[in-house]
Structure 1
Amino acid sequence: MVEKVWGRDCLPAPFSAPPGKRIGEIWFEPPPELPEVLVKYLFTSEKLSVQVHPSDANAIDGEAGKEECWFVLDATDDACLAIGFEREVSPAEIAAAARDGTIEQLLTWHPAKPGDFFYLPAGTVHAIGPGLSLVEVQQNSDTTFRLYDYGRPRELHLDRALTVSDGVPYDPRHRGRVASRGQVLIDGRHFRLDRVEGQPDLATCEAYVGALLALPLEGDIAARQGSARAKPGECLCASSLEDLDFSGAGLTLLTRAA
């Protein structure tokens, strides 16, 4: 559990925040079998900073590139995610708006509902609004450059952020709803993410050869050998999809490295 200024002191079941703690993230530390992918739960009560991440190609000085995606689990009626800009903007416009606080008005705020999915290529300027519970799947990197943080006393990284930010609108092809996207949510350059209900179908099984993470959202999954089992709020690592028993599963997210 990771404390954040924008986190919650009351988490949705099955989680529970320690007394006096505002928990914003719950990490599943990448296992040795799958070091490239990091899976988190995120819980927001306030806006996150306006931020951006570098790609592997433009990371410098020991930084690591970071692409990520969000699967919305729960949202208040007015919950939104800021992703990309309303129009093409120059680095100078981004810098001026970040300094005077008007960058929020330059961004596109997308309404977010349970079942929505958003993929964020590196370089996408973004912020998460309050009232959201998300699963985030990302490259295993914590490289974040903040452009604006609502006056909070945290470090900003404007110069570095401007060198990696894409001043363009968000590509609508990178978002969708489960009902319209099918099982494969993303099959990208760095990781794949699938949503399955019950037993994975043949195409999913063929796509998951090698180490993977399974995150049950309903029901539970178990290892075919041994006693390992995961229920909602937990994450199971397996050397292959064939090693997992989905007989008790409902809705599950599966992910692996590309």
Structure 2
Amino acid sequence: MAQSERIAVTQTPAAPGVDTVLARMRALALDLPPRDGVAVFNRVYLSVTEAVDRAIDGGAAGGFLDRTAAITLDVRFAERYLTAVDAAALGVRGPACWRPLFQFRRHPGVRPLQFALAGINAHIGHDLALAVVDACRTLDCEPDVLEDEFERVGDILVTLEEHIREELMPGPDLLQVADPLTHLLGSWSLERARDAAWGAARALWALRGLPCLEAEFAQRLDTSVGLVGRMLLTPLPD
């Protein structure tokens, strides 16, 4: 594992507020062509982050008992995506989990729903686990302290997943067994990805005293999530 990759796992400078990451996502929404694959995911993620922000503002009424912990986790989570966007803009080789989306973002044979799911796969499958560890380091706490916030964010994501699928469905033929997109949709589950992310976060935290093993685990997680993303972006016939 290269030293630069190891630093990406462990560095945790002070987090900005949710407004800062929302502003970045809104700027991306204005800059990117609507059909661009990253733009498709960005619209989805912007909606999710706005929903989380409203829930945080609602405090206990919104489901977040610890507002500071919720903000820290939400911002650390968003920073992972925005860092990948910045790396791609600079031509820098970013995390493996995000590479398929950036490579196929303009492919005419990839449907918008595939772009959205590939981005969600990268962000939940890889970034969420590392964001939990980032937040724990920032707040000097164990992952269990953040479990309620993690579950609440996950609940919001699951609630929006159905809306995302409905909005981006190519039409009623989607449910036909012969449609290749139906098979892709059935091969990935946000709930399973969320559960796996929590397990990965706990494992990474347990390995924090063993930097080489922690970095190796993070790298293997990144690679495996990237393979799933590449499958989700398989070009399909019209």
Same fold (TM over 0.5): no
Structure in which a larger fraction of residues adopt helix: 2
- Structure-2-length-normalised TM-score: 0.25
Structure in which a larger fraction of residues adopt strand: 1
Q: Which has the larger radius of gyration?
A: 1
- Structure-1-length-normalised TM-score: 0.24
Which has the higher relative contact order, 1 or 2, with Cα contacts under 8 A spaced 6 or more apart? 2
